[in-house]
Amino acid sequence: MTGWETIIGLEIHEQLNTESKIFCGCSTRFGDEPNKNTCPVCLGLPGALPVLNRHAVELGARAALALGLHINNESIFSRKNYFYPDLPKGYQISQYDRPFSANGELEIMTAERDEAGHPVEWKVKKIAITRLHLEEDAGKNVHEGLPDVDKYSYIDLNRAGTPLAEIVTEPDFRTSWEAYDYVNHVRRALQWVGASEADMEKGNLRCEANVSVRRVGDEKFGTKVELKNLNSVRFMQRAIEFEVTRQIGVLESGGQLQQETRLWDERAGETRVMRSKEEAHDYRYFPEPDLPPLIVADEFVERMRSGLPELPEARRRRFMDQYGLSFSDASQLTSERSLADYYEKAAEISGSPRNASNWIRSELLRELESAGLLAGSSPVAAEELGALVRLVDEQRISGKQGKDVLVEMFKSGKSAATIIAEQGLVQVSDSGEIDRIIDEVITANPQQLEHYRAGKETLFGFFVGQVMKASKGKANPKVVNERLKTKLELS
Ligand SMILES: [Zn+2]
């Protein structure tokens, strides 16, 4: 692959989180009976007139501001003409030459990954944003799960008219991991401010990648291939990797690339041709005559801006400064807003922000993940986790006991104090009692003692284990270590 440079540009469509559609009052609810949520406007019946949903504009503004983009005071809706069965009007209302936002710049943190998939070195990268515009979604052709699908296509227009924001970048990405980190950045920002659920699996965040390669030093871009059907950020990353290797392979063997659209097939792990350039559309854009220009006053933008929560990157930096967390810990804790809120509350109650971070990252997140929950709906409240961290820090219970207590808290919803009282858990730190257990263990293991004294120091761990076991996990490991060292040397 050396000698080649990869060029990637991305388009993201995200569904704005409104209750009704962008140009009519129909519900945007997912999973309803097909064609239930339709009306003359979103069915494209003659004479029906669109009316812009104010909330869609507000959420579009939140999305733009969360990404640090400027909002134009005036933008124009345009008709994008093409024929497709799921598009009843024969055109999509979108924005073209005067979009909601244009010429922005976004700063992301990105890192290449090693063989094991771990980030190597995080660095800042600036991505030029060509535009963010508002538009309506199309409906959906259904080819599965209905009678005679081999003979008929079915059309569900529930989705037609759902508000979308489309974000287009310049071809600024040079690796698949940069693209991966960018999409995750955008997704987190949109979820964070409530603009979109931004869930790729549900299809409310969709992504397309334009990929080409060129010889290092070439000025001219190579032939560009558009990748679709990227149903997760990871699929997108893999699709780009595959495509780069394929393109270089074609060019190095003297072949030529076609400008085409290719679909990612996750099962086969490859991209396949969907359509070639000959079928590409000329959309004949023109201004939508049924909608006036969208005027967005500065006061509106300022009101939206002042209503935003502290944004994820700012919060990550603050976590590092205020709580002394590492970049990767702070990044993980700000990967989602309810988790960041959870952490701050737990940190405050625990009195130890670093320990709270460790407990959340190593213990709580594992429980949440296996239960398929976000921190915001954790059965263990942040205050309760903070209280548990404090109990362990104060050595009222051992770390090992604490972990078991957390699992029990997660299952039963009881507080740490209740579980500790019910189970009679205490950590024994009294050196007299620990000495007694150590003496028993030493007496019971004369051979190991002999070997240890003869220089086999690895047996120290064996003795620690025996003492912990004899104390049923209640002995304070720090005291055990100290006392054992003394006892094993002396007795
Ligand atoms: Zn409608």
User: HSE (CB half, 13 Å, CA atoms) of 60?
Assistant: 31
Ligand 1 centroid, distance to 209 Cα (angstroms): 31
Ligand 1 centroid, distance to 38 Cα (angstroms): 4
For 188-239, write each residue's pLDDT tens digit: 999 999 999 998 888 889 999 999 999 999 999 999 999 998 989 999 999 9
CA 27 remoteness from chain centre: 26
Beta bridge pairs of residue 13: 166, 206
Ligand 1 centroid, distance to 374 Cα (angstroms): 33
Q: Residue 89: is it exposed, middle or buried by C-beta count within 10 angstroms (0-12/13-18/19+)?
A: buried
H helix intervals, 10-146:
54-66
For 147-167, write each residue's pLDDT tens digit: 888 899 899 999 999 999 999
Average pLDDT, the chain: 93
Check residue 338 and give its pLDDT. Answer: 96
Check residue 27 and give its pLDDT. Answer: 98
Q: Residue 473: is it exposed, middle or buried by C-beta count within 10 angstroms (0-12/13-18/19+)?
A: middle
Check residue 144 and give its pLDDT. Answer: 85
Question: What's the rounded Cα separation, in Å, for the pair 155 and 65?
Answer: 36
Question: What's the rounded Cα separation, in Å, for the pair 434 and 472?
Answer: 12
Check residue 487 and give its pLDDT. Answer: 86
Ligand 1 centroid, distance to 28 Cα (angstroms): 9
Ligand 1 centroid, distance to 52 Cα (angstroms): 12
Quick one: which of 411, 362, 412, 419 has its CA closest to 387?
Answer: 419
Question: What's the rounded Cα separation, in Å, for the pair 329 and 232?
Answer: 24
SS3 of 5, please?
strand
Which residues have CB under 8 Å from 207's CB, separation 6+?
A: 10, 11, 12, 13, 183, 200, 230, 233, 236
For 73-89, write each residue's pLDDT tens digit: 999 999 999 999 999 99
| Positions in the chain short of pLDDT 70 | 1, 277-281, 490-491
Check residue 295 and give its pLDDT. Answer: 98
Check residue 425 and give its pLDDT. Answer: 82
Ligand 1 centroid, distance to 42 Cα (angstroms): 4
Check residue 490 and give its pLDDT. Answer: 65
Residues measured by CB to lie within 5 Å of ligand 1, the ion: 24, 26, 39, 41-42
